[in-house]
Structure 1
Amino acid sequence: MDIQGDNESQNEDMEIRMRERQGYITVIVPVYNVEKYLDRCMESILAQTYTKLEIILVDDGAADSSGAICDSYAQKDERVQVIHKENGGLSSARNAALDIAQGEYIGFVDSDDYISVDMFEKLYQACVQYESEIAICCHYTERGDRLLIEEPIVDESIQYTGVEALELLIRDQGIRNYAWDKLYKASLFQSIRYPDGRNYEDIATTYLLFYRAKRICSIPRYLYYYQIREGSISSHVEDTKWLDNCYQIIVSQTERYHFMKEHKEERLADLCLAQLVPYLYEYIRLGLRLHTSLHRTEVLTLLNKEWENIQNNSFLSAKDRRLYKIYTAAPIVVQSYQRTKEAVKKVQDCRYKLKNALGEAGILSVDRFDFQLAKGKERRIIFFELPCFDNLGDHAIAYAQKKYMEALTAQRPEYQLYTIDGWDTVEAVIQLTKEIGKKDVIVCQGGGNMGSLYEFAEAFRQKLLKAFVDNRIIIFPQTIYFSQDEQGERTKRKMVKVYNKCKRLTICARDAVSAQTMQSMFTADIESVNDIVAYLSGRIPVQTQRKGIVLCLRSDLESALTTVEKKALRQACTEKASDVRITDTCLGRDIDRQDREAMLMKKWSVFAGAQLVVTDRLHGMIFSLIMGTPCIVLGNNHHKVKATYATFKDCKYLQYAENVREAVQMIAAWKPDEIPVTPYNTEEYYKKLEQLVIMQ
């Protein structure tokens, strides 16, 4: 027998198969009772610009016509093959396809979802460009007729080592466990399969693939459309169902923890345990509430076994470490703790209200701030910021207003500027009421939060107005809006009562509609002044290398666009430019004050790097203005965007579209070479504001 010859022949056959597989992507689609959605899903896959696909549909014992639909696609396209099997669940369906997959890469699409036509092309290019074994894209969430971005915004490609990406995956920050937003090298699945019969099966599997990968990359492309529908695994669940799901998460996370321990990845193991412990506490708490002891002993055994590791875990908060003794005690102790926690919250609320009342009465003394005037200074200007969260528009207002005030006071040596963080408002007001002089000026942050839509911001502002009724107060450019209901009327009545007690109040309206509303409500001086962020035009470095279109659409309460309309805008952009980037001015994660400037500069570079911006964000429009980038802007669900656009209507590179149809026409007519030489000059807009601030 010629063993050597046989081995050589086998090696040659393997090399031929490898060459045949090179560049091919196996797309795995588990199918179960999705006849309503399957056509949309399949059409999006068959329309892929990357055509080297093997598409495996797994009919997991569907009771509707899904199986027949699968067969019809296999007859239409030779790239499609179908597996019919008894119902075994999502993991079983994926595994059946993995067992026969021939592609060099593996991708997953859930059959009630759909994908962008260039999803696999972009992911494959990323794998090749960054020499990565896993590439990750961004996704939309579709809820009814709303198309949302529910994860933090990503604006740049990022390359990770496997361990770096694995840490983010375990933390569930920036990288999620989902199977379907990724492209994997098929070799990673050697001996790895999804656990049969378990929800949240991705938690039990994705970390194993990441652990094997040497390089992983993520790209800032929104390529997957994830649908939340009634009856899906991910839709809202009641407590009894959540208890079962919580247990299944515990099982998967426990496996992940033990895997890291066995492979002597101590830091990752500690991180896994820190993610697991809150689920163990939650399971005990909810089990007692639902009067069930199912799996309770198992969970308590795990907690007791890991007692020492929990106490020494640097990733766990001190509170979570202390809670161990409560949740491993008798049920009555856990229940007493829950009741005590609810009572403590009520007490804390009362203490907060009492602290405010005592402070306003001058009884409570808090001296954290240095409000002393320096030598040669005659009067204070105290700029109170509002608390800012994830909205870069709000951060840009605070940043621009501070820059403006610094420039103004630099020219007026008699003034001394103090800037108060929004979260320090209460304590600063308490102290300042004892130290403020008659000539001192209070300046409130501008924005689009006056009225009933953002009561949180309104509460902070009214605290200032109540405390300093005798001082000169200037509210920087604002939009005012009230909902057409009892809440709106109630807020309006309260505002009239508070605002009209101020003796020297000036309110700057950033649009004509707001100015008219303010004049009808308040006795204060009302002045029209443009949004303060436009003050930065010409003051921020602008890059000259521009490419493609940036699509910046909102996903919050003020959005007026449906899923169909958003997709129409994206399609129009794609037809006009090969490079279309999705972004938003709300990042989906809170921004610390010290990181404000860096985060703004990053976002402004996105706008400055585009040839065109299409947006329904007010500050998407203004970011375009200060970066000198042509912009097509649509309105939101009230007057704010349109009325603010009117204050910049002489800016030649801003266009307002009344509706999506008009915006699509504007996109089609846009000429890429029409880029302004310099950003719009806004110098004249703020001379009036200077006089308002320094007025005696």
Structure 2
Amino acid sequence: MTEPLVSVIIPVYNVEKYLDKCLTTVVYQNYNNLQIILVDDGSTDNSLSICKHWSIKDERIEVYSKKNGGLSDARNYGLRYAKGEYVSFIDSDDWISLNMISKMVNVFSENDVDMVTCQFITVNNGDAKLFSYQDKKLNIVDRKEMFKLLLEDNNMTSHVWRKMYKRNLIPKDVFEVGKNFEDILAMPTLVSKCQSIASMNEGLYFYRTSNGKSIVNAISLKNIEDRFYAIKESTNEIIKLEPQLGKVVNQALLIKEIDVYRNLIDSGIINDKQALPLITSIKEDLREKDYRILPGMAPKMFGYSILKSKALAILTYRLFEKQDSLFKKVMRRFKLYSERHNKRVAFKDKYLNGNDKLFIVLGVPNYGNLGDQALKFAEYNFIHKYFPDFKLVPVEINDGFLVRNVKKRVTNKDIVALQAGGNIGTLYPWLHNTQLNFLSKFARNKAIIFPQTLYFSDDPMGKQYLQNTKSVYQQMQHFLLFTRDKFSYDFAQNKLQGVRSVLMPDMALSLTPKVEESKRSGAILLLRNDSEKTLSVEDLQLLLRKVKETFGNNYLQSDTHIHFDDIDDNFAKDKLQGLWNKMGKSQLVITDRLHGMVFAALTNTPCIILHSKSPKIQGVYEWIKNNKFIFLEDDINELSSTIKSALATSDCHFERKNIKEKFAQMAELINKL
């Protein structure tokens, strides 16, 4: 069956620093039938040259150059040449998952829908986070419900990117030229042509926020006016199309206009002293009434022009953001206290009552790093196996307020442990400092750190962090530091004098996941997008070229991080099992993530592991290098031969007798504290 043609429109303007990354992820999609339209909008840097260079390498790329007319003009221009059954827009300083196009086309082919959207991941200097999460794997809504979701501006936003459209439903020149916030203006028209829209729960679009590009964050009178105009025009259009949503529109308008004026006031563009007499008059009137009347004022507020409604908007902002700030702070504090009190009571009732011996694990992750989640479950298994007489007491990384309760209850019979991982040092400062603070409260108790990697940068910050760490560790009276790699062990021996350290395997190597039996096919790529990423764009291109040569389109991109926080154990187990099942169906894993390598070993999947910034990969590899289906790749140029060797490997079975013996030894050492 022939793949439908997808036209990918990428406006380009002065993005020479980011363009290669964007185009790499488009060109190497696991979907071939693409028309890649690059519209250079009068760039003054090397962007056009980069576009032309790519067009020589790939015949699917079409380059058009025009005078600068703005993003809307460039998108409209690209649409004139779009021949595909489907159209997708990508901003040239962002990038996409290698699966995005194929997954969206599959949703179209399997469902009777007119538009498909995915979730997106914001990336700020290597800090990647899923913008929003929906419970359903696929949520299909009608036009009215889609408008409602857009007004709520939470799970569904008006961004034109992160979506795929039927070409025949996009009107000519749908983007209004000369205005910023063109997405807000265009989205009602685009949605109006649809009977149903499918929303996926996967984050497949990576939105770069660290380059200062965001119009939303660039406060100027022009941007404020354009945003106000876009909000007004788009919501008026929604009411015309779906009159029943009038109340929802008015509520959304009130919130959004206040936000517009907040930007004006905070930027100093508006001087509210000139409006003081009117503000005072309205303030006196409102003192006699319930604040709940304010939402009802929305239709009146939005009947005014910017100048006429300025005073009322300033008043609303001052009342709720400034003058009531003390009240709001008190209420927030009270709510937080109430939530913590309830959690503290439940925690004490569940874990701290009675005379049980306790095995306390501090800094348990509730964030979406599946490697750290796997470590957590491995620690739990270890405690249940070797310390069956102890009650397991997990304290999450965000629950520092519970440490005081634990401290009051702990005795010299109990054991305090710090979560395993790669968080000691300067790679993740907040995690390091939080964990160090937790541990410092138990200087007189039996305490251990589950196998960790230590990494301190060689700069003033790293030296200060090391000094603080040494100070806490040296105060511990019954203490064992377990390290999971030789580099960290040697570092501890040399830099943490007087601290007893022992080399042990990564805790996740003790897990025994059950993987669905199936015929293996294709490759899975688990590649970083965070601060530890060391794979250059050039190396990524080489890697993807070799993968294409070997597997065609039979590969997918995933990750050991779901970029989502505040997850519970059941959610984490479900995500881990899903990833393990994907790996168990693959012929090969290629990854630069330590736990990508570990999970490949656990699922008996041939794996090529690439180096990252931390020495942990090399160190943990030493524990499993006797398994000949795990390949540590030092030279990306040798990838072709390594792929052949990995695919030629037979009888893949994770041998870990030595690892099991080390964990038994670890339990003995803890018992002797």
TM-score w.r.t. length of structure 2: 0.75
Distance 1:43 1:606 in 2: 24
Q: Does 1:257 align with 2:238?
A: no
Distance 1:151 1:276, change over 3 A: farther
Q: Decide whether the 8 Å contact of 1:179 with 1:202 is kept in 2.
A: yes
| Cα deviation digits, residues 323-355 of structure 1 (max 9, x gap) | x9998454994698289679979x99xx99xxx
Match of 2:348 in 1: 369
Quickly say closer, same or farther: Cα 1:459–1:86, change in 2 above 3 A: closer
1:695 Cα shift?
A: 3.1
Q: Using a 3 Å threshold, how does the CA distance of structure 1 residues 609 and 333 change in structure 2: closer, same or farther?
A: same
Whether the aligned pair in 1 keeps the contact of 2:515 and 2:584 (CA below 8 Å) is no
- Asked if 1:400 corresponds to 2:378, the answer is yes
The equivalent of 1:656 in structure 2 is: 632
Identify which of 410, 416, 424 aligns with 1:436.
410
The range that moved more, 34-43 or 461-470, is 34-43
Shift of 1:286: 3.0
2:579 to 584, 603, 607: 603
- Residue 282 of structure 1 and its aligned partner are, at CA, apart by 3.5
Indicate which of 498, 511, 515 corresponds to 1:523: 498
Separation in structure 2 between the aligned mates of residue 72 and residue 626 of structure 1, nearest angstrom: 42
- Consecutive unaligned residues in structure 1, runs of 5 or more: 1-21, 314-323, 353-364
Contact 1:288–1:331 (Cα < 8 Å) also in 2:
no
Q: Secondary structure at the match of 1:506?
A: strand
C-alpha distance in 2, partners of 1:633/1:621? 6
Q: After the TM superposition, which of the residue ranges 559-568 and 243-252 deviates more from structure 2?
A: 243-252
* Residue 475 of structure 1: aligned partner: 449
- The answer to whether the Cα contact below 8 Å between 2:474 and 2:498 also exists between their aligned partners in 1 is yes
Secondary structure, aligned partner of 1:420: strand
TM-aligned CA distance change 1:642 to 1:249, over 3 Å: farther
Cα pair 1:109 1:180 within 8 Å, conserved:
yes
SS in 2 for 1:582: strand
Q: Is the Cα contact below 8 Å between 1:153 and 1:584 reproduced in 2?
A: no
Structure 1 pair 497–100 and aligned structure 2 pair: CA distance change class (3 A): closer
Pair 1:140–1:667, CA change in 2 (3 A): farther
Equivalent of residue 245 in structure 1, options 208, 211, 223: 223
With 684-693 and 54-63 compared, the bigger mean Cα shift is at: 54-63
Cα distance in structure 2, aligned partners of 1:235 and 1:479: 36
Q: Where do residues 497-512 of structure 1 align in structure 2 (5 Å cutoff)?
A: 497-512=471-486
Cross-structure match for 1:212: 193
Give percent identity, aligned residues only.
Answer: 27
CA distance in 2, matches of 1:539, 1:224: 30
CA distance in 2, matches of 1:37, 1:507: 42
2-side partners of 1:442 and 1:339: how far apart?
44
Could you tell me how far apart the structure 1 residues matched to 2:94 and 2:319 are? 41
What letter is aligned with 2:379?
Q
In structure 2, relative to structure 1, the CA distance for the partners of 1:263 and 1:480 (3 Å cut) is same
1:475-529 Cα offsets, whole Å, 9 max, x none, are: 1111111110111111111222211111110111111111122223142332221
> 1:432-465: per-residue Cα shift (whole Å, max 9, x none)?
3333222221122111111233332333333343
Residues 660 and 154 of structure 1, relative CA distance in 2, 3 Å threshold: farther
- C-alpha distance 43-592 of structure 1, shift in aligned 2 (>3 A): closer
Residues 514-553 of structure 1 correspond to what in structure 2 (within 5 A)?
A: 514-520=488-494, 521-536=496-511, 538-553=512-527
Q: 1:290: Cα distance to partner?
A: 3.5
Post-superposition shift, 1:554?
Answer: 1.2
Given the superposition, is the C-alpha separation of residues 310 and 641 from structure 1 closer, same or farther in structure 2, using an over 3 Å criterion? farther
Matched, 1:160 2:135: no
Unaligned stretches of 5+ residues in structure 2: 299-308, 338-343
- Residues 1:568 and 1:191: Cα distance change in structure 2 (over 3 Å): closer
**Structure 1 193/527 Cα, relative in aligned 2: closer, same or farther at 3 Å?**
same
Q: CA deviation at 1:121?
A: 7.1
Aligned twin of 2:662: 685
Distance 2:56 2:619 in 1: 55
Hey, what does 2:301 align to over in structure 1? none
Greater Cα shift, 160-169 or 65-74? 65-74
Q: 1:584 deviation in Å?
A: 1.8
Q: TM-score, normalised by structure 1?
A: 0.73
* Correspondences of 1:271-350 after superposition (within 5 Å): 279-293=256-270, 310=295, 328=313, 330=315, 333=318, 337=322
1:4-23 Cα shifts (integer Å, max 9, x gaps): xxxxxxxxxxxxxxxxxx96
Q: 1:591 to 1:289 in 2, by over 3 A?
A: closer
Equivalent position of 2:532 in the other structure: 558
Structure 2 CA distance for aligned equivalents of residues 672 and 308 of structure 1: 72
Q: Distance in 2 between matches of 1:543 and 1:154?
A: 30
Q: Which moved more, 1:111-120 or 1:553-562?
A: 111-120
Deviations 1:151-178 (A, max 9, x none): 5699998463445766665555666544
Amino acid corresponding to residue 629 of structure 2 in structure 1: Y
Give the counterpart of 1:581 among 547, 556, 567. Answer: 556
Q: Mean Cα displacement is larger for which, 83-92 or 208-217?
A: 83-92
Aligned to 2:160: 179
Instruction: Give the AA of the match of 1:670.
Output: A
Q: Kindly tell me: are residues 62 and 613 of structure 1, through their superposed partners in 2, closer, same or farther at Cα, counting changes over 3 Å?
A: closer
What is the root-mean-square deviation in Å for CA atoms of aligned residues?
A: 5.3
Q: Does the CA-based 8 Å contact 2:366-2:396 persist in structure 1?
A: no
- Which one-letter code corresponds to 1:610 in the other structure? S
Q: Secondary structure at the match of 1:569?
A: helix
Preserved contact between residue 568 and residue 664 of structure 1 (Cα < 8 Å): no
Q: Which amino acid aligns with 2:462?
A: G
**Which structure would you say has the larger Rg?**
1
Residues 395 and 403, structure 2, Cα contact 8 Å, conserved in 1: no
Paired amino acid for 2:610: L
* Correspondence 1:421 to 2:396: yes
Amino acid aligned to 1:160: I
How far apart are 1:679 and its partner, in Å? 7.5
Letter matched to residue 406 of structure 1: H
Deviates more, 1:655-664 or 1:62-71: 62-71
Q: Give secondary structure in 2 for the equivalent of 1:383.
A: strand
Number of positions where the alignment pairs a residue of Structure 1 with one of Structure 2:
633
Mark the CA change 1:604 to 1:250 in structure 2 (over 3 Å): closer, same or farther.
farther
The alpha-carbon deviation at position 35 of structure 1 amounts to 10
User: Structure 1 pair 678/188, CA: closer, same or farther in 2 (3 Å)?
Assistant: same
Structure 1 CA distance for aligned equivalents of residues 648 and 179 of structure 2: 51
Q: CA deviation at 1:612?
A: 1.2
Q: Report the equivalent of 1:202.
A: 183
Check whether the contact 1:162–1:211 (CA below 8 A) recurs between aligned residues. Answer: no
* Farther-moved stretch of structure 1 (334-343 vs 516-525): 334-343
